[in-house]
Amino acid sequence: MNTAPNKGTDRLIYGWLLLSVFSLVFAGIFALMVALARTPVIENMLPLGRDYIYVALVGHVVLAVVIWFLAFEGFLWVYTSTVKLAQREFSPAIGWASLTLSVAGMVLIVFAAIFGLGTAELANYVPVLLTPVFYAGLILFALGISLNLINTFLTVIKAVRNGKKLPVITIGMLTAGAAVFVAFVCFALSGYFQLSTGKIFLDFERLFWGGGHILQFANTISMVTVWVYLSVLILKSEPVGGKTAAALYGFYLVFILPAPFIYFIFDTSTQAYKDSFTTLMRWGLGPSTTIFMLVLGGGIFAKGKRPWKNPGFSSLVLSISVFILGGLIALEMSGVNTKIPAHYHCVIGAVTIAFMGLFYELMPLLGRTLWSKKMAAVQPYLYTLGIVLFAVGLYLAGSHGVARKTYGSEQNLNNMGKLIGMSIMGIGGLVAISGGITFVLNALITLLGREKTSGSLAAQEMRV
């Protein structure tokens, strides 16, 4: 019986890629809305007037940080469990149901944010709009991702029973999938324990705090896995052996799997609850990620000729570099100021750069030629420059006392250090948005254009 992926699997993979790119489209729209909400006259024409800035911020963050990452990881789960294993998905019906629910969830979230439904609550990790429409969007999207995970794990179990060996990229994405599953369990436990005390309204900061930390494990693991795969595709070498990679991924799990038990030890209203998840992330993310970086860095420097015009290669190097910058900023964080967003914008920027780089490399496997190879060659540098300027500006501003989550006159820019820092941040933001638009434009035209090659993804994979 032939179990190789077919055209149906190809279309499912294509669907997840398209969803991830569209999430960036709307994230960019809301970034523009944030700017318009700060513009005189125009601010009064928007829903909720000048307060719409907070609604737009919620839309931007959820789409750029939550949906974009999980949607691209959704693509990776399907790809690594089918194409990389020459295996059809366990259930095509579950696969399409997962994508459909995820699309429906994103549509509701975008709808709620565009029309300013509900008051914005800028909770960490997953900010929300206080309206049933937004809640329904989050729930539907989470259900879609959960079904994708179930289908992925069942597909891999079936492949293993058929005697197939798991490549490093599949092991990595299974680890990231386990982290997402644990994060969802943490969200559920937080909600349950809050409501069990008789609370009528959920504290969203506490609700998403624990699971939000675990989602950062998932994003980091996915980024590292993409680094490894980019190295294989571009440098034609396996940087990390299967057993070593399994041990490094296993170390992540040592800190991920115990997370739900925290809810049975500490009340979500206590500082100990928040500190526990901070500790897990502080000690659990660094060691394995550092080893991966050192091994990959060695492989990059060992290569005689480095293809800097190859967007996959440049994205690999730039992603690692920006992640290191984020780590260095973390060492200098103190107090509640803009050093904190400087750190996490580097980290999430590094994840985004890696995902974009892999998109460029995999387009030929999807049977498509990039619309503009020249644009693809420049885009990683443009986006990275924006992220670095944005983070450096926030770091400088934070060093002079600018508090995080303040806007307009609330920022109290009363000295030169604050003004210079926030000015650099603004320039960096514009450059990063330009880099994002460049990627989205190239990606959408490529995905929506005609196929240039024939054959399934599995057949194309064999040529790599």
Do 282 and 338 lie in one domain? The reply is no
On whether both 262 and 379 belong to a single domain, the answer is: no
Query: Tokens 């794990």 label which residue?
Result: 153
**456: helix, coil or strand?**
coil
Q: Are residues 161 and 191 in the same domain?
A: no
Instruction: Say if residue 131 is exposed, middle or buried (CB neighbours under 10 Å; 0-12, 13-18, 19+).
Output: middle
Same domain, 25 and 153: yes
What is the spatial distance between Cα 447 and Cα 14, in angstroms, rounded to a whole number?
Answer: 8
Q: Where does 37-126 have alpha helices with state H?
A: 52-61, 68-81, 92-114
Same domain, 133 and 15: yes
pLDDT of residue 196: 86
**Has residue 317 been placed in a domain?**
no
291 located within any domain: yes
Regions in the chain scoring below 70 on pLDDT: 1-6, 35-50, 303-304, 335, 403-414, 450-464
Residue 42 confidence (pLDDT): 56
Q: Where are the beta strands (DSSP E) in 6-77?
A: none
- Alpha helical stretches, state H, 88-236: 92-114, 132-161, 168-196, 204-235
Residues facing residue 128 across a β-bridge: 121
Q: Tell me, yes or no, whether 191 and 288 share the same domain.
A: yes
Q: How many domains does the chain contain in total?
A: 3
311 in a structural domain: no
Q: Confirm whether 17 is domain-assigned.
A: yes
Q: Which range marks the domain in which residue 227 is found?
A: 172-207+215-304
CA atoms lying within 13 Å on the CB side of residue 358? 26
> Residue 337 has what DSSP assignment?
B
Whether residue 177 sits in one domain with residue 151: no
Give 278-312 pLDDT, tens digit per residue.
999 989 999 999 999 999 988 887 766 778 889 99
In CATH, what number is assigned to the domain containing residue 82? 1.20.120
pLDDT of residue 40: 46
Q: Is residue 151 part of a domain?
A: yes
pLDDT of residue 1: 39
Same domain flag for 160 and 177: no
Are 390 and 416 in a shared domain? yes
In a domain, 318, yes or no: no
Say whether both 18 and 134 belong to one domain: yes
Report field, pTM of the whole predicted structure over 0.85: yes
**pLDDT the model gives residue 405:** 60
Q: How do residues 303-337 score in pLDDT, each as one tens digit?
A: 667 788 899 999 999 999 999 999 898 887 776 77
d(CA 261, CA 460): 44
Residue 141: the pLDDT is 98
Q: What CA–CA distances, in Å, run from 34 to 57, 177, 241, 393, 460?
A: 6, 32, 45, 18, 42
* pLDDT tens, position by position, 356-411: 999 999 998 788 889 999 999 999 999 999 999 989 988 888 777 776 665 555 55
Tabulate helix, strand, coil % of the chain (nearest 5): 75, 0, 20
